[in-house]
Amino acid sequence: MQGFKTFLLMLVMTLLLMTIGSLVAGRNGMLIALIFAGVMNFVSYWFSDKIVLSMYRAQPVSEDDRVFKITKRLAMNADLPMPKVYVINEQQPNAFATGRNPKHAAVAVTRGLVEVMSDDELAGVIGHELGHVSNRDILIGTVAATLAGAIAYLSSMAKWAAIFGGNRRRDDENGSPFALIAVAIFAPMAAMLVQMAISRTREYKADQFGAKVSGNPIYLANALKKLEMWSNRVPMDAAPATENMFIVSPLAGSKMASLFSTHPSTAERIRRLEEMAR
| Amino acid code (one letter) for 79 | D
| Amino acid code (one letter) for 235 | P
**Is residue 240 within 8 Å of residue 246, measured between CB atoms?**
no
pLDDT score, position 174: 45
Strand-strand pairing, 95-99 and 84-88:
unpaired
End-to-end alpha carbon distance in the chain: 31
pLDDT score, position 99: 85
Distances (CA, A) of 11 to 18, 46, 79, 91, 260: 11, 17, 33, 36, 22
Decide if 243 is catalytic. no
Report the DSSP beta bridge partners of residue 109.
Answer: 87, 95
- What is the sign, positive or negative, of the torsion defined by CA atoms of 266, 120, 206, 109? positive
DSSP 57-123: T-EEPPTTSHHHHHHHHHHHHTT-PPPEEEEE--SS--EEEEESSGGGEEEEEEHHHHHH--HHHHH
Distances (CA, A) of 244 to 16, 85, 164, 198, 257: 19, 19, 34, 9, 12
Q: Of 130, 275, 132, which Cα lies nearest the Cα of 217?
A: 275
Phi and psi torsions of 84, nearest 5°: -70, 150
Interaxial angle between packed helices 177-214 and 2-55, expressed in degrees from 0 to 180 and rounded to the nearest 10: 90
Set 121, 129, 228, 243: catalytic member = 129
From first to last of its 278 residues, the chain has per-residue pLDDT tens of: 555 666 676 677 677 777 776 766 667 766 776 777 677 667 767 887 888 899 999 999 999 999 999 999 999 999 999 999 999 999 999 999 988 889 999 999 999 999 999 999 999 999 999 999 998 777 776 666 666 666 766 666 666 666 665 544 444 444 556 666 666 666 666 666 666 666 666 888 899 999 999 999 999 999 999 999 998 888 888 877 687 789 998 886 554 445 456 678 899 999 999 999 98
